Amino acid sequence: MSFDFSLAPRVEEWRDRITRFVDDVVIPREQQAFTDGVDDALRMELQREARAAGLWAPQAPAQVGGGGFAFDEAAVLLEEAGRSLLGPLALNCSSPDEGNIHLLHIIGSPAQREKYLLPLVAGEVRSCFAMTEPPPGAGSDPGALRTLAAKAPGGWIISGDKHLITGALGATFAIVMAANADGSGATMFLVDADNPGFLIKGHARTIDSTAVGGHCQVRFEDAFVPDDAVLGEPGEGFRYAQVRLAPARLTHCMRWLGAARRAHEIALARSVTRSVFGAALADHGMAQQMIADNEIELAAARALLWQVAWQVARGDKSTESSSRAKVFISEAAGRIVDRSVQLCGGLGTSEEMVVGRIYADVRAFRIYDGASEVHRMSIAKRAARRARGDG
């Protein structure tokens, strides 16, 4: 057995260039974005500069216009991009487009890749992923899916309500999860935003505020889609959801690890310059404990992430490994940012210091892509089956 954590020269080169790009181009835009809001105009401006810098969609396959890095290599690059909440947006590796790029590349037909994947990778359009529903519909329990797709001559009719659909306003298309009306499983569909049955009914006012297009309530009102709008095969929607969700929860981990690291860097810089009670804050024992705990959890989170990303890059389809990583890293990132706010004192709660904005945005990560409690339930059930010798 051998362990090799060295990075390929191309990965190191992109990492260093992303660091400079985020520091020089992206971070100076943050305060205006926090004040004015993150919109498509800012997205396109940042993406033009990223393209000019030769830094584009590092996680996407090279044959469709991306950087072509392996999944474990992308872990390094997406962490670096995530140091700014705007960094993944600039490099076209942010959610939900990043997850949809992966799903379309794996499942999409040649015609679907031409129509949807290529423009998405190029940054010409945005997309959304419509699975979550208002109670009592699907959320942490996908089996509660209530949006229905009924077969019709030449296509399907989709009816139902979705909510908290990130990026729906201004998206060109949605990947929609619906239960088959005849009870034969669930199906994924590609629905164009100009479909008369695709209706945006409002926005949720969430504590995070850096998602282009917000988090929307969407209604599918007898939306007809042709047969070629089916993504993959009818009835295979739940299986395809795992194709998207397992890697997507890890790319979230990559980005949020970068954001947590940034919060810690800001807090650490302040702790060595801020003098309290006759000494630098970093010289006080209680502050030292918070600094040390942040250092430890950053290292532990990165080690776990790299291990699981390496497994995925080599074809491991295990969802249990990604569940463990998602729970630990989402909660560790929250603790790291929370301590960083505390170390920064009153200014830590402000957007001017950025730590406060990261704090607000990172909280939801413990809920989306599977709440921590749901992942723990799944992990515990698998452990119990192994202990019983039946799986």
pLDDT one-digit tens code per residue, 296-341: 999 999 999 999 999 999 988 778 999 999 999 999 999 999 999 9
pLDDT score for 391:
61
Closest by alpha carbon to 158, among 218, 243, 242? 218
Query: Helices 285-313 and 237-273, interaxial angle, to 10°?
Result: 150
State the CB neighbour count (10 A cutoff) for residue 99. Answer: 23
Closest by alpha carbon to 78, among 93, 99, 63, 68? 93
- Domains, in order of start, for the chain: 9-121 (1.10.540.10), 127-235 (2.40.110.10), 238-388 (1.20.140.10)
Confidence band for 70, pLDDT divided at 50, 70 and 90: very high
Q: Mean pLDDT across the chain, nearest whole number?
A: 95
Contact by Cβ (8 Å): 104, 114: no
Tokens, residue 290: 């918070």
R_g over Cα of the chain: 21
Beta strands in the chain (DSSP E): 127-130, 148-152, 155-166, 173-180, 186-192, 198-203, 215-226, 230-231, 275-276, 279-280
Q: What is the pLDDT of residues 59-69, one digit of tens each?
A: 999 999 999 99
pTM equals: 0.95
Q: What is the pLDDT of residues 233-243, one digit of tens each?
A: 999 999 998 88
pLDDT score for 172:
98
Q: What are the Cα distances from residue 273, in Å, to 55, 277, 281, 286?
A: 34, 13, 8, 16
Tokens, residue 24: 């020089």
